[in-house]
Amino acid sequence: MRPPALVAALGYGGLIPFVGLAGFVMFAPADATAFARGLLIAYGAVILSFVGALHWGFAMTLPGLDRARKNRGYVWSVIPALMGFLAIAMDSALSLSLLIVGFALAYWQDADLANRASLPLWYPRLRAWLSTIACLSLVCGLLAPALV
């Protein structure tokens, strides 16, 4: 099943800064990459916070979640924001690594919730694609020549 067209457009459109900044960091002259890498980290932190916040909404609105599952959703929902905040304050290599771990954990949480709750059937697949492309973009930022 496919997500609604608007959802797909917004989700995949949100990857444009990831892919664009990763490409810039990979192929631009070394003296121009530090700023772009910083933007990649900042954008990753913002999006990771957004992805975590989804679980706050799920905990509030999904029917059939018991109290423990709701509480787990509330607790998890703030962890990505904290990871993003730390990523902004760290060295670039650590920042990018932390964001990659954060997106991987966020996808794991999404997949787990999708198996236990009544989320739209398209949601886990969309999140898998978005998370994978975001992580690959962050890996490009990590492996870019000026940082290695």
Quick check: is 137 in a domain? Answer: yes
Q: Under a CB-based contact definition with an 8 Å cutoff, are residues 83 and 102 in contact?
A: yes
User: Structural domain tally of the chain?
Assistant: 1
Region of poorest pLDDT, from 19-23, 76-80, 144-148: 144-148
Tell me the per-residue pLDDT of 31-66, one tens digit each, with 9 for 90 and over: 888 899 999 999 999 999 999 999 999 999 998 889
Quick check: is 11 in a domain? Answer: no
Quick check: is 1 in a domain? Answer: no
Quick check: is 117 in a domain? Answer: yes
Q: Under a CB-based contact definition with an 8 Å cutoff, are residues 85 and 120 in contact?
A: no
Q: Calculate mean pLDDT across residues 101-110.
A: 98
Other beta carbons within 10 angstroms of residue 126's beta carbon come to: 17
Tell me the per-residue pLDDT of 116-130, one tens digit each, with 9 for 90 and over: 888 999 999 999 999
- Residue given tokens 């949601």 in the structure block: 123
Closest CA to 130 of 105, 111, 103, 112: 103
Quick check: is 29 in a domain? Answer: yes
| CA–CA separation, 120 and 1 (whole Å) | 9
- Predicted TM-score of the model (pTM): 0.93
Domain range for 47 = 17-143
Quick check: is 91 in a domain? Answer: yes
Quick check: is 8 in a domain? Answer: no
